Amino acid sequence: MWRVHLDQPEGARWASPLSGPERDRAAALAGPVERRRFTVAHTALRAVLGRLAGVPPAGLVFGTEHNGRPYLVGHPIDFNLSRSEEWALIAVAPPGLRVGVDVERVRHDLDHLAMARHLYQPAEVDHLTRAASPVEGYFRFWCAKEAYVKAVGVGLSGLRDTLVTPEGNATVGSSRSLRWLDVAPGYAGAVVTTAVTTA
DSSP 24-85: HHHHTSSSHHHHHHHHHHHHHHHHHHHHHHTS-GGG--EEE-TTS-EEETT---EEEEEEET
User: Is CATH 3.40.1280.10 the classification given to domain 2-77?
Assistant: no
CA distance 62 to 77: 12
CA distance 8 to 30: 18
Structure confidence at residue 170 (pLDDT): 65
> Which CATH superfamily groups domain 101-195?
4'-phosphopantetheinyl transferase domain (3.90.470.20)
Percentage of residues in the chain with pLDDT exceeding 70? 92
User: pLDDT digit string (tens) for 130-140?
Assistant: 988 899 999 99
For CATH 3.90.470.20, the residue range(s) in the chain are 2-77, 101-195
Q: What end-to-end distance do the CA atoms of the chain give, in Å?
A: 28
Quote the pTM value: 0.91
Q: Reduced to 3 states, what is the DSSP secondary structure of residue 150?
A: helix
